[in-house]
Amino acid sequence: MMKYALAFATALVAAAPALAEDTPLPKLGPNAVPISVDHAYLTEAPAPDFWAIFPFVKPQFTSSACGVASITAAVTALAGLPPHAEDTVIRQPELLEKVGDAHWTAISAEEGDGIMFDELSLYAGKAAEAMGLKVTIDSFHPGAPGAMPEAAALTELRARLAANEASANDVTMVYFNQGVVTGDWDGPHVSLIGAYDARRDRVLILEVDQEWYIPYWTPVPVLLTAITRPAPDDQGVLKGQTGGLVRLSR
């Protein structure tokens, strides 16, 4: 009996590392709380950005199109629902065609390189122009070389989030390391800011990566870490990219 018990115990020990490796990660890590289980702020506060933007946020149409998806949501939210029955709500491929920039189309294609932080402002401006929108675009890039210290960056981030939350006259996109927030992959990503809950010091990310996620809340200090974390070496031309906020204002 002892012989078989010992053999069984040995087999369990040998299998333990494999079992640990096969254990699936949770859908969201501790720094992301899905809106499906926490929507209190949206019933307590006016949340003008959320109600203006959320209806226009669609899934990115390729694995590299988070920038296109976020910009499309931003400009269509600012433009509002088209007035006539025959008018469509513009889709991501249509916006790319309207802008007509070969580089943006290429980096947004399936397995494309993806968008750099500075390109987010560039193509947001081109998209707004193609849509006939007059907007002001400003950005906040705390991860840039020589940028402000962390404490000052956190103060500035909160101030910008509060200003954005004040009305639906602007839309803010965020370029960040998605895995810092979700607990999964290590790489750069773009989505939209849906709300800022100042009392709880957290921000709502309206995800365009909807194959994997739904909107989630994350603490503002975590978002700053995600914004300033450089993209790793395996991210090709995006290696070393850090992120920030890009705001479009009417």
pLDDT at 4: 34
Q: What is the pTM of this model?
A: 0.90
Interhelix angle for 92-99 vs 66-79, to 10°?
A: 90
Q: What is the 3-state secondary structure (H, E, C) of 171-199?
A: EEEEEEEHHHHHCCCCCEEEEEEEEEECC
Of residues 27 and 8, which shows the higher confidence score? 27
Residue keyed to tokens 């491929």: 93
* pLDDT at site 24: 83
Query: Per-residue confidence at 71, pLDDT binned at 50, 70, 90?
Result: very high
pLDDT band at 2 (very low <50, low <70, confident <90, very high): very low
Q: How far apart are CA 107 and CA 101, in angstroms?
A: 10
Interior/surface letters 11-24, b for 16+ CB within 10 angstroms, e for the rest: eeeeeeeeeeeeee
Q: What is the pLDDT of residue 21?
A: 61
CA distances to 6, 22, 132 from 77, rounded to whole Å, are 65, 42, 13
Element (H, E) at 128: helix 117-130
**What's the chain's average pLDDT?**
91
Helices then strands, each counted (H, E), the chain: 10, 7
In angstroms, rounded to a whole number, what is the distance separating the alpha carbons of residues 118 and 237? 13
Residues 92-146 pLDDT 10s? 999 999 999 999 999 999 999 999 999 999 999 999 999 999 999 999 999 888 8
> Mind listing the pLDDT tens digit for each residue in 174-223?
999 999 999 988 999 999 999 999 999 999 999 999 999 999 999 999 99
Strands 33-34 and 244-249: unpaired
Q: Give the strand order in the sheet containing 33-34.
A: 33-34, 216-219, 202-206, 188-197, 170-177, 244-249, 136-140
pLDDT at residue 76, rounded to an integer: 97
Cα 83-208-164 angle, rounded to 5 deg: 70
The answer to whether residue 63 scores a pLDDT higher than 90 is: yes
Q: What is the pLDDT of residue 143?
A: 86
- d(CA 164, CA 170) in angstroms, rounded, equals 7
Six-digit token pair at 171? 């839309």
**Listed range (10-14, 60-64, 141-145, 192-196) with the worst mean pLDDT:** 10-14
Residue 17 has pLDDT above 60, yes or no: no
Average pLDDT over residues 72-78: 98
How sure is the predictor about 147, in pLDDT bands with cuts at 50, 70 and 90? confident
Amino acid in the structure at residue 180: V
E strand or H helix at 138: strand 136-140
The pLDDT of residue 144: 87
The listed CATH number (3.30.1180.20, 3.30.450.20, 3.40.50.1000, 3.90.70.30) that belongs to domain 27-249: 3.90.70.30
Beta bridge partners of 188: 177
